Amino acid sequence: GESVGLHLPTLSVQEGDNSIINCAYSNSASDYFIWYKQESGKGPQFIIDIRSNMDKRQGQRVTVLLNKTVKHLSLQIAATQPGDSAVYFCAEVNNAGNMLTFGGGTRLMVKP
């Protein structure tokens, strides 16, 4: 598969463990955030979103936490699987709702 060659922070976890990926955002006025997963050779894929009126949102095996005080997002993946290996990006949505500002990304590697 194709690699974008990103020089990213890497999180390495054992299969079955929980993973926590962190993201700091810059715009305190942002009120909508999204986590994306990008596998090698593919475009980003929506995982989960959260609005600023929430602190936590859960999906299937994933949880997003939002701390507006310190402008911090985290993505928690439960029981991490080899298929979770990818680059994960957080993104802020602009007020008009037609633009995403992405964070730098974290590479998750799952060891079998």
**Sites of contact with other proteins (CB under 8 A):** 2, 4-7, 32, 34, 41-46, 49, 89, 91, 93-94, 96-105
Kindly tell me which of 70 and 96 has the beta carbon lying closer to other proteins: 96
Minimal distance, residue 101 CB to other proteins, in Å: 7
Give the C-alpha separation, 80 to 68, whole Å: 26
CA-to-CA dists, residue 81 to 14, 25, 26, 28, 84, angstroms? 8, 27, 31, 33, 5
Minimal distance, residue 35 CB to other proteins, in Å: 11
Kindly tell me which of 29 and 96 has the beta carbon lying closer to other proteins: 96
Lookup result for tokens 């980003």: 44
CA-to-CA dists, residue 101 to 33, 71, 73, angstroms? 9, 14, 14
Kindly tell me which of 34 and 77 has the beta carbon lying closer to other proteins: 34
